[in-house]
Amino acid sequence: IERTLVLVKPDGVQRGLTGTILSRIEAKGYRLAELKQVEASRELLEKHYEEHVGKPFYEPLVEFMLSGPVVAAVFEGHRVIEGFRSLAGTTDPTIAAPGTIRGDFGRDWGVKVQQNLVHGSDSAESAEREIGIWFA
């Protein structure tokens, strides 16, 4: 069965949207296989975001992810990677479609990093890599 790593980022946890977000993923039909709340270390985040090293948003992104607890989950189901990314909406929450998690609950707060509530793996390879990092 296909699996994906979902993170409720610090903005989602801080705003009390964890339950709502997990509930929407379950309501779409995916199975919650693993769940925990974590205060991520810089080392863990540097591994998770290694593809973004050197980009202008990299350091603000890592700092943002260190700013509060994160909820990490593994969801499973046929085509869950694609299905969750569709449910999450596009990266920029200002233009993410209404009906998506980012589109319904996210906006631009005028800060350096895009606070867009959730992360979802973008391929089967990233999913297995990321699940190994967060659920070692």
- Contact set with ligand GTP (CB under 6 A): 57, 61, 91, 113-114, 116, 119-120, 122
| 3 is annotated as contributing to ligand binding | no
Residue 100 binding partner per list ligand GTP, Mg ion, none, with a CB distance cut-off of 5 to 8 Å that depends on partner kind = none
* Between 61 and 131, CB nearer to ligand GTP: 61
Q: Write the interaction track for Mg ion spanning residues 103-122; mark x where CB under 5 A is met and - where it is not.
A: -------------------x
- 132 phi, psi to nearest 5 deg: -65, -35
Distances (CA, A) of 3 to 28, 30, 47, 84: 15, 10, 19, 10
* Joined tokens for residue 40: 């991520």
Residue 85 is assigned to a ligand binding site: yes
CB of 77 or CB of 120, closer to ligand GTP: 120
Taking the C-alpha atoms of residue 13 and residue 33, their distance in angstroms, rounded to an integer, is: 19
Distance CA 35, CA 72 (A): 6
The strand ranges marked E within the chain are: 3-8, 31-38, 70-76, 118-120
User: Annotated catalytic, 119?
Assistant: yes
> Do the Cβ atoms of 33 and 76 come closer than 8 Å?
yes
Amino acid identity, position 130: E
Binding mask 69-108 for Mg ion (x = CB under 5 A): ----------------------------------------
Residues at the binding site for ATP are: 9, 57, 85, 91, 102, 116
> Catalytic residue numbers?
119
Where do contacts with Mg ion occur on this chain (CB under 5 A)?
122
